[in-house]
Amino acid sequence: MYNRISTTEIDSLVEPARLHKRLYIDRDIFELEMERIWGQAWIFIGHESQVPNTGDYFTTNITHKVPVIMVRDKEDQVHVLHNRCAHKGAKLVENREGNVRGAFRCPYHGWSYKHDGTLIKIPNEAGYEGTGFDLNDACNNMQPLAQVESYRGFVFATLSSQAPDLKTWLGGAIDCIDNLCDRSPDGEVEVAGGVLRYEHECNWKFFLENLNDTMHPMVVHQSVVQAAKDYIDSLPESATRERSEAEIILPFGSSYENFEDSGITGFRYGHHYDGGKTSIHANYTVMPEYHSRMVASYGEEKAREIYSFNTHNTLFYPSLTIKTAVQNIRVVRPVAVDRFIVETWSFRLKGAPDEMLQRTLLYSRLVNSSAGMVGPDDLEVYRRAQEGLESSGSDWVEYHRQLGRDQQLEDRVVGGGTSDLDMRTQYKAWKEFMNGEIYR
Ligand code: FES
Ligand SMILES: [Fe+2]
């Protein structure tokens, strides 16, 4: 059990440019976040390509204590169901992924469920005759989530029946999902190359805050950028492959001016991205073979328009972050107040040459994996922040950068790339979720 926190108390923790340290270290706040943010928002579950065939399933958690299954049925419908038996609550599926031919069978007393969650069989059913138990009562099924929707293969679900439809909730940030898919000559992407699963021993919000914190790369990643430069300088002229691989690291050393130019755009519900016209990924070479396939599909002008929408990180608050220009995503799964997991999934652009997927996988390994050269730098500073906030000294963290300079447009707020607009956007949503005002 945990202690409830009043609305007045929540209000006192989030100021326009300061956050109370309890947000990162207080177990009661974490439990309330699970109920009011993760239990109310649309949470990314997985991509439809992870369950291509009838009976394919994928399991994950929608909040720290709610396991779910994404499964494809015979009619090609993808469902997201609570991963628990209606009899005595046993978790039905322990594997991360797999295929069930006919039905899910509970490992405890053998109740069986169709792919859509309908209860179909109870062993020794005669014992229920005349007891008032109704096999056809929907409460005896695996329970569906309150709402499940998919956009261009990205499956989201929510425990809230109040949340607006998915497209409304994604708002203007939906352009980033479109851009990722449009980078495929066939207009479709699919998960490929496995997952990098990386546990972080700190609060989940450090990761979200860091995505578009453009004041940190040139400091936190300074040493690896220098090492990459030294390595490139040491290479012989002929080592073109090694050079292009090491060059993936260099943008992390971009200047404050470059990051300022990229801009940040914020939306309702906490979503935001940095970049658009330009980003640290803007100078990627467009491979000739890929370009010709894109031109064949879209025409020269449209193909160039697709590559020129260059975002760095897009956050669909609170669970999904996309790198459109790199074609990978990172999925956030909180575990405890000081523990969460990040999963990196890479995408194949259907119809694109294999080199595009290889580049994505290389990026994911170099930057996002636990054995990578960039992500572990970030984790080191999150852990130091966690340690510092758990100590005494001051109760507050600050986010004043460019306060008062954000520009409100019709459906979005825009501001400088080195501003704290991303913080203002997500903590406005945080407060609304936590006060129960988000869908009012
Ligand atoms: S708990 Fe599942 S059949 Fe009994
Ligand atoms: Fe970083």
The DSSP string of 66-96 is EEEEEEE-TTS-EEEEESS-TTT---S--SS
**What's the pLDDT band for 253 if we cut at 50, 70, 90?**
very high
Going across the sheet that includes 104-105, the strands are 104-105, 112-113, 119-121
Is 123's C-beta closer than 6 angstroms to any atom of ligand 1? no
> Which one of 84, 111, 122 would you pick to mutate in the ligand 1 pocket, going by the greatest count of ligand atoms within 8 A of its CB?
111
SS3 state of residue 247: coil
Q: Which residues contact 408 (CB under 8 A, 6 or more apart)?
A: none
Is 111's C-beta closer than 6 angstroms to any atom of ligand 1? yes
Residue 123, pLDDT above cutoff 90: yes
Residue 286, pLDDT above cutoff 90: no
What is the tens place of the pLDDT at every residue in 363-401? Answer: 999 999 999 999 999 999 999 999 999 999 999 999 999
SS3 state of residue 197: strand
Mean pLDDT of the chain: 96
Angle, CA 44 vertex, CA 421 and CA 207 arms, to 5°: 45
Q: Look at 155-159, 188-192, 243-247, 388-392 and tell me which has the smallest mean pLDDT.
A: 243-247
Angle, CA 301 vertex, CA 298 and CA 306 arms, to 5°: 70
Residue 280, pLDDT above cutoff 90: no
From residue 108, give the alpha-carbon distance in Å to each of 112, 180, 218: 11, 43, 54
**What's the pLDDT band for 277 if we cut at 50, 70, 90?**
confident
Mean pLDDT (whole number) for 257-283: 90
Which of these, 364, 384, 383, 388, lies nearest to 374 by C-alpha position?
Answer: 364
Q: Which residues contact 334 (CB under 8 A, 6 or more apart)?
A: 30, 33, 34, 38, 63, 64, 204, 340
Q: Which CATH architecture has domain 44-151?
A: 3-layer Sandwich (2.102)
CA 259 vs. chain centroid, Å, equals 22
What is the tens place of the pLDDT at every residue in 209-240? Answer: 999 999 999 999 999 999 999 999 999 989 98
Strand partners, 264: 274, 415
Distance from the CA of 131 to the center of ligand 1, in angstroms? Answer: 18
Q: What are phi and psi of 305, to 5 degrees?
A: -60, -40
Residue nearest to atom 3 of ligand 1 (CA): 109
Positive or negative, the CA dihedral 351, 272, 210, 406 is positive
Residue nearest to atom 4 of ligand 1 (CA): 109
pLDDT at 49: 98
Q: Which residues contact 305 (CB under 8 A, 6 or more apart)?
A: none
Q: Which residues contact 261 (CB under 8 A, 6 or more apart)?
A: 278, 417
Domain edges within the chain = 44-151, 166-434
Residue 322, pLDDT above cutoff 70: yes
State both tokens at 143.
């329970």
Pick the CATH number of 166-434 from 2.60.40.10, 3.40.50.300, 3.90.380.10, 3.40.190.10: 3.90.380.10
Mean pLDDT (whole number) for 143-151: 98
State both tokens at 116.
């859509």
pLDDT at 1: 62
CB neighbourhood size of 353 (10 A): 15
Residue 283, pLDDT above cutoff 80: no
Q: Do the domains spanning 44-151 and 166-434 agree at the CATH topology level?
A: no
Q: Would you call 344 exposed, middle or buried from its count of C-beta atoms within 10 A (0-12, 13-18, 19+)?
A: buried
Q: Look at 169-173, 273-277, 337-341 and tell me which has the smallest mean pLDDT.
A: 273-277
Q: Would you call 231 exposed, middle or buried from its count of C-beta atoms within 10 A (0-12, 13-18, 19+)?
A: middle
Q: Give the pTM.
A: 0.97
Is 85's C-beta closer than 6 angstroms to any atom of ligand 1? yes
Distance from the CA of 376 to the center of ligand 2, in angstroms? Answer: 9
Is 108's C-beta closer than 6 angstroms to any atom of ligand 1? yes
